[in-house]
Amino acid sequence: MKPVALLLPLLAVLATVAGCTSQVDDIQVPDLSSPAALPVGVFVGRTTFQSAPTEVVGTAMIEPNGRIIVIGDNSEFLASGTYGTVGSGINAKLRFHLPNLRGADGQPLTPVAAGDLIGTYLPQDSFTGTFVRDDGDAGSMNFVYDVQSATPAALTRLVGTWATPDAFGDSAVSFTFVNGGGFSGLDANGCRYINAEAFVIDPRYNLYRLNFSRSCVGDVNAVIFTGLMTIVERSSGGRTFERMILTGSNATAAVSFQLTGQN
């Protein structure tokens, strides 16, 4: 089913697109809309802000059931939310997790800011838009389609250990996936990722939906996250490798990781 929302002036969008993110996260039925009709896939580009940081290069993941997540190439979690389309227009109600500053316990040091994005898209080509946040900041997003979006999704692609090394080559962050989509992980702050599972949204899209909990030292209860993930080829230092981009968020916190296969 194609997400639809009226493109109205910014204040009206607040009323028409303010759907609960958790409603989107709970959908497990594949969307069978044609990819040519939706701004679905993995996109690479830039997000700019009036305040610091002025520009962040990163990746946007847009799934067919109405979820969008934008992160930076240094694992900065920029924004997450729901989107709607009509014609070639796209609008989104987003939570911005910036600045992406965290304490030793991994908890955010700054509050989340809500905002609205209004723009246009060309299916399997690009999307662009401007946003205004409720804290007064504003900016823009300009992204182009990554052809790897069409790589078929399959849980077998995930099996194994994916990690981010520290300056000494040891794993600072490590996630292990098993058959069926289950996974667990440990981050650089010593937080553990448990009760975790990845789902194929639709085999045609190189996107996976995630549900997981994070338990850090001092937490009374584990914190629940939902998110998106993709696996794309990237090049660095003359070599090509597979990179897993793994994200999760809730109303107050967000996490994202850039992981490389260790098998």
Q: Does CATH number 2.40.128.120 belong to domain 10-147?
A: yes
Report domain extents, the chain: 10-147, 150-261
Please write down the HEC assignment for all residues of the chain: CCCECCCCCHHHHHHHCCCCHHHHHCCCCCCCCCHHHCCCEEEEEEEEECCCCCEEEEEEEECCCCEEEEEECCCCEEEEEEEEEECCEEEEEEEECCCCCECCCCCECCCCEEEEEEEEEECCCEEEEEEEECCCCEEEEEEEECHHHHCCCCHHHCCEEEEEECCCCCEEEEEEECCCCEEEEECCCCCEEEEEEEEECCCCCCCEEEEEEEECCCCCCCEEEEEEEEEEEEEECCEEEEEEEEEEECCCCEEEEEEEECC
- In this prediction, residue 208 carries a pLDDT of 98
pLDDT < 70 stretches in the chain: 1-36, 98-110, 169, 263
- At 172 the pLDDT is 86
